[in-house]
Amino acid sequence: MSTQQRGASSFEGQTVLVTGAGRGLGRACALAFADAGAQVIAVARSVADLHSLAASTAGKVTGWAEDVTSESFYQHLETLAQLDVLLNNAGMNRPLPVQSVDPDTLDAMLDLNVRAVYRTSQSAARVMLKSGRSGSIIHMSSQMGHVGAARRTVYCMTKHAVEGLTKALAVELGPHGIRVNSVAPTFIETDMTRSMFADAGFRTSVLENIPLGRIGKPEDVVGAVLFLASAGSAMITGDSLRVDGGWTAR
């Protein structure tokens, strides 16, 4: 089902940058923005994934093979003359008990989930402020940015940091017409998570925590992202849209 069929806003004439766009939720969102008329800059490390994405969108997607933790990426981003929407989607998780978290894991997750989110937002804000246009910055957070969970001490910490950044950026950039929000999904079934859900015990434990009684789908998250990027959310900033089936309502 296309975004237009779902009644999504048109993004004709807008430039949208999506990090972590090669696979999973990032890819689904990049395709949806392109389907809604945007010119999409898809950022990922895999050239093959970017070629596949661009080939399916009739020229609506430009691929940037970049590491979002590198200074060269932020410099590249700041060469843009126009940026209307940033989806800060790149991130990682390595579930471990706290006593087993090694320094390399801690540093890698802080670098990608927090520092890169901050630096990408900073560069995007510079472009938006320089162009004098309004804009929307959306962070892909998690329900774990609102609650705690075993084996996810680092992940929860990074996503709580993203929620704090969302609020602070919203306050600072609001007077310039730039809105900043986050999307906080529950567990979503994608090609990358399908093997996790093949474990019947894990799937059951997840379902027991979701009042709606089903695993999230990529389109559930896509709809939330498009809404926060659109004029339909013009009075929403500094907020977190929890796409969690009620997990955090308990």
Q: Which residues are catalytic?
A: 155, 159
d(CA 45, CA 73) in angstroms, rounded, equals 11
State the CB neighbour count (10 A cutoff) for residue 75.
10
| Phi then psi dihedrals of residue 58, to 5 deg | 50, 50
d(CA 108, CA 111) in angstroms, rounded, equals 5
Residue 112 DSSP label: I
Query: Token match 């991130």: residue?
Result: 91
The amino acid present at 46, given as its one-letter code, is: S
Cβ–Cβ < 8 Å for 224, 28: no
d(CA 39, CA 16) in angstroms, rounded, equals 6
Query: Token match 């060269």: residue?
Result: 72
**Three-state SS annotation for 171-224:** HHHHHHCEEEEEEEECCECCCCCHHHHCCHHHHHHHHHCCCCCCCECHHHHHHH
